[in-house]
Structure formats: C-alpha cells, structure tokens
Amino acid sequence: MPNRCVVYQCNNASGFEFPSDKEVRQQWIIAVRRDNWSPTSTSVVCPEHFLPTDYKDGPTACGSPVRQRRRLKPKAVPSVFHRVEPLSVPAQNRKSRAEKRPARLREIETKKRKVHTDAESGVRPK
C-alpha cells in the first residue's frame, strides 16, 4: 500500500522518505510544520513540495534525459507548501445552530398556515 504525503491537506501517494542525516531530517520536520509529531519509517513527503532545483540532474543519452526516478540532492528540504486560507465566515458551533433551528421551524409553520388559510379563503398568493 502506498504511503501518503505527511504534509497537511496533501493526500498524494508516495514520495521521498525522511533523510537519515539528523540535521537535514530535523529541517524536514520543521518544514512540514506539524505539532507534536515525529516521522515514522513510512513517513514520506511527495515531490510536489520540492523545487526543481532540489533534484539532482539525471543521466542523459544522446542529449535526451533518460527516464528514471528523480533523486533529491542530499541537502534538499521541502519548501513548497500551499497556504490554507481560513474560512471567510467563522464556523458556528453546533449549539448555536441548534438554538436557531426551532425559530426557523416556527417561521416555516407560520408561512404554511398562512398559505393554507389564504387558499381556503380564495385569496391568491402574490
């Protein structure tokens, strides 16, 4: 089963394992910005979070690049992260929505009764 990228709100499958070099590994952990988290042996960061300059130049044959898995430079650190914008309207908590519900239901019932009584009396709705 493929591993998922550990970056917040990124669900890409597969990627680069965390480096074994302690200094670079710590830079990756800081770059990922996850609270109270440390990488496991299956933690990966997908290629989407690296710059083109973070990759080693691949081999070429007759002037054309040879298709092969891209490799990161030894000191490469993920630096491309899509900023998650906060909601423009703060989310309401469940309790406040539940408190408003009875008032809305009463309003709907009142409108239904008015339409029903108008229909019985022969008054056409506007």
Tell me the pLDDT tens digit for each residue of 65-123: 667 778 899 999 999 988 766 656 666 677 776 677 777 777 777 777 776 666 666 65
Amino acid at 22: K
Q: State the residue range of the domain holding 101.
A: 92-126
Please report, rounded to a whole number, the percentage of residues in the chain having pLDDT higher than 70: 71
Whole-angstrom CA distances from 42 to 51, 73, 91 are 22, 20, 34
Token duo for residue 22: 């302690």
Check whether residue 24 and residue 78 sit in a common domain.
yes
User: For the whole model, what pTM was predicted?
Assistant: 0.59
Q: Are residues 20 and 62 in the same domain?
A: yes
Q: Are residues 19 and 75 in the same domain?
A: yes
- Please check whether residues 39 and 73 belong to one and the same domain: yes
Tell me, yes or no, whether 23 and 46 share the same domain. yes
Element (H, E) at 65: strand 64-65
Same domain, 32 and 71: yes
